[in-house]
């Protein structure tokens, strides 16, 4: 069972829309928690817990597990938001109240059961930074933050520190522009994935030097409040299910659309009410079938065994560079065809060592030669510093020409892979060791790979 903890909570809000005052629930933490829950996640929310529970919040208390110090209703945060005819929001009242008193001391001493811990803005970046440290000390697996602080001067340096210390960071394009510059020029630190929302213009997912922009189907919002926070929560939920960050963002945008199509948290509450939480009981292992397959494999003749990745053109059993070889080779499995006017023309076929080989087999043969003559080629340092000239020589055919149609992309992927691995202090052997010792090896492996080019 994967769980998400959101640090930051709910508020009692008044929306001024079309000359009407509408009382509703809000708060960055609540929107995040409901967004995660609407995407199927199991969520705890650590925030001031009102007693007695206000009438508007009673449905929420039944949908998420609300933890936190008990406060009176009057101590809950309160915001008043006014919208003009164009839908632009102006906060006319900002009273964080009890939430502004939260500190790292409110965080439990053991967070190891949570797949993600998310810390909302809380109006103070120094509090967020101290909370990150407490979360790390409390064995948090992965930490996410909202980075939308309105900082001035040298205070902006703290945003860079916040992003570097987190695994994930969320902000909108205005917050990103104020603190980091134009989105297209932003690079996230190695090990941190940055999500920048652009309203109806989509989302940017920044992984190191790589930026991917996804579009969304625009909608006419009734209340744009909470779109970014509910998007954040939904992303965390989908990442918990090991969706790739880009795919998670695409799905999470649909949750944000539900948010803005209703007033306050109304739409999310409706969605959560019909969405079951993910549960380990939803999947089961057919142990009988596993035993049957194992029995068949045990009795197979030697020449009928599954492919062993050993033998001619492959590392010998026990070769010290086997992992480096397969990591560097696997990321190059693309671009084996020629094109004209953006259309497929023919597969790439060329002669190497006297044999005509196609695509993947060709690059496998070329890399196999390097395993014999220069195995250090596959180290992360060599990959990071690879030059186009060297790669063209390595991939040359029997006539001395490099037949690879996408040589620039192959070079870029190798360099990115090597640099990111170096920055993370990782090698293939370290990755395998880390995942072998984990209770969730597949999840840990994928989360490492999300931060590595290639």
Question: Does one domain contain both 348 and 272?
Answer: no
Does residue 49 lie in a domain region? yes
Question: Is the residue at 251 inside a domain?
Answer: yes
Q: How confident is the model over 335-362, as a mean pLDDT?
A: 94
**Domain limits for position 43:** 3-279
Average pLDDT over residues 53-80: 93
Residues 70, 150, single domain; the answer is yes
The domain that contains 197 carries what CATH number?
A: 3.40.1190.20
- Which residue, 279, 301, 336, sits at the end of a domain? 279
Q: Quick check: 70 and 51 in contact, CB under 8 A?
A: yes
What is the Cα 122 distance to its own chain's centre? Answer: 22
What confidence category does residue 304 fall into, taking pLDDT thresholds of 50, 70 and 90? low
How large is the average pLDDT for residues 378-399?
Answer: 98
The answer as to whether 75 is a domain residue is: yes
Q: What is the pLDDT of residue 280?
A: 47
Q: What is the DSSP string of 63-97?
A: TSEEES-EE-GGGS-EEEEEE-TT--EEEEEEE-G
pLDDT confidence of 389, banded at 50, 70, 90?
A: very high
pLDDT at 309 over 90: no
Query: Which residues touch 148 (CB under 8 Å, ≥6 apart)?
Result: 121, 170, 171, 172, 175, 228
Residue 2 in this model has a pLDDT that exceeds 60: yes
In this predicted structure, what is the pLDDT of residue 345? 93
User: What is the average pLDDT score of the chain?
Assistant: 92
Residue 286 belongs to some domain of the structure: no
Same domain, residue pair 334 and 392? yes
**pLDDT tens digits for 117-151?**
999 998 889 999 999 999 999 999 999 999 988 88
pLDDT digits (tens, 9 = 90+) for 399-443: 999 999 999 999 999 999 999 999 999 999 999 999 998 989 999
Nearest to 28 by CA among 93, 82, 79, 65: 79
> Does the pLDDT of residue 300 top 60, yes or no?
yes
Q: Are 176 and 186 in contact (CB under 8 A)?
A: yes
My answer on whether 110 and 207 are in the same domain is yes
Q: Could you tell me where the DSSP H helices lie in 219-356?
A: 227-240, 245-260, 266-273, 287-299, 322-330
- Is the CA virtual torsion 207, 451, 376, 326 positive or negative? negative
Q: What integer pLDDT is reported at residue 279 of this predicted model? A: 62
Nearest-angstrom CA–CA distance, 440 and 413: 27
> Which residue from 243, 222, 298 is spatially nearest to 115, judged by alpha carbons?
243
Whether 344 and 265 share a structural domain? no
Q: Is residue 301 part of a domain?
A: no
Considering the domain boundaries, does residue 235 fall inside one?
Answer: yes
* 284 belongs to a structural domain: no
Does the structure show a pLDDT above 70 at 49? yes
Query: What does the pLDDT read at residue 303?
Result: 56
- Examine the domain organization and report whether 117 and 31 are in the same domain: yes
| Residue 269 shares a structural domain with residue 323 | no
Within this chain, do residues 113 and 238 fall inside the same structural domain, yes or no?
Answer: yes
Mark whether 241 and 357 lie in a shared domain.
Answer: no
Same domain for 376 and 241: no
Tokens read off for 341: 């006017």
Q: Is residue 326 part of a domain?
A: yes
220-264 tens-digit pLDDT: 888 888 999 999 999 999 999 999 999 999 999 999 999 999 999
Residues 313, 266 share a domain:
no
Same domain, 237 and 338: no
Number of domains in the chain: 2
């Amino acid at each position: 069972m994967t769980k998400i903890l959101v640090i930051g909570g709910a508020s009692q809000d008044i929306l001024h829309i079309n000359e009407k005052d509408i009382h509703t629930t809000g708060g960055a933490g609540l929107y995040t928690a409901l967004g995660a829950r609407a995407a199927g996640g199991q969520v705890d929310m650590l925030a001031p817990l009102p007693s007695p529970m206000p009438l508007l919040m009673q449905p929420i208390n039944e949908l998420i597990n609300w933890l936190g110090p008990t406060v009176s209703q009057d101590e809950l945060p309160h915001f008043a938001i006014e919208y003009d005819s164009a839908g632009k929001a102006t906060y006319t009242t900002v009273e964080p109240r009890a939430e502004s008193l939260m500190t790292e001391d409110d965080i439990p001493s053991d967070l190891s059961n949570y797949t993600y811990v998310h810390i909302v803005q809380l109006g103070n970046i120094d509090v967020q930074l101290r909370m990150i440290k407490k979360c790390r000390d409390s064995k948090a697996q992965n930490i996410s933050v909202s980075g939308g602080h309105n900082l001035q001067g040298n205070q902006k340096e703290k945003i860079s520190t916040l992003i570097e210390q987190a695994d994930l960071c969320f902000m909108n394009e205005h917050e990103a522009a104020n603190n980091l510059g134009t989105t297209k020029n932003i690079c996230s630190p190695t090990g941190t994935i940055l999500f920048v929302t652009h309203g109806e213009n989509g989302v940017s997912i920044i992984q190191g030097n790589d930026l991917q922009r996804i579009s969304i189907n625009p909608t006419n919002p009734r209340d744009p409040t909470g779109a970014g926070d509910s998007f954040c929560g939904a992303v965390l939920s989908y990442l918990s299910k090991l969706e790739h960050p880009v795919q998670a963002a695409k799905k999470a945008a649909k949750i944000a659309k539900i948010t803005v199509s209703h007033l306050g948290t109304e739409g999310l509450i409706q969605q959560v009410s019909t969405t079951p939480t993910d549960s380990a009981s939803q999947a089961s292992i057919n142990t009988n079938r596993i035993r049957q397959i194992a029995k068949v494999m045990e009795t197979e003749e030697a020449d009928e065994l599954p492919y062993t990745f050993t033998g001619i053109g492959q590392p010998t059993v026990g070769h010290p560079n086997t992992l480096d070889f397969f990591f560097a080779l696997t990321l190059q499995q693309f671009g084996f065809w020629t094109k004209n006017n953006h259309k497929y023309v023919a597969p790439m076929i060329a002669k190497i060592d006297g044999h005509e080989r196609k695509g993947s087999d060709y690059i496998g043969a070329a890399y196999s030669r390097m395993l014999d003559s220069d195995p250090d080629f596959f180290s992360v340092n060599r990959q990071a510093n690879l030059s186009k000239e060297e790669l063209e020589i390595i991939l040359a055919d029997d006539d001395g020409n490099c037949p690879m149609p996408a040589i620039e992309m192959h070079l870029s992927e190798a360099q990115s892979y090597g640099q990111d691995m170096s920055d993370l202090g990782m090698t293939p052997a370290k990755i395998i060791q880390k995942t072998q010792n984990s209770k969730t090896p597949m999840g840990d492996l994928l989360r490492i790979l999300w931060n590595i080019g290639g």
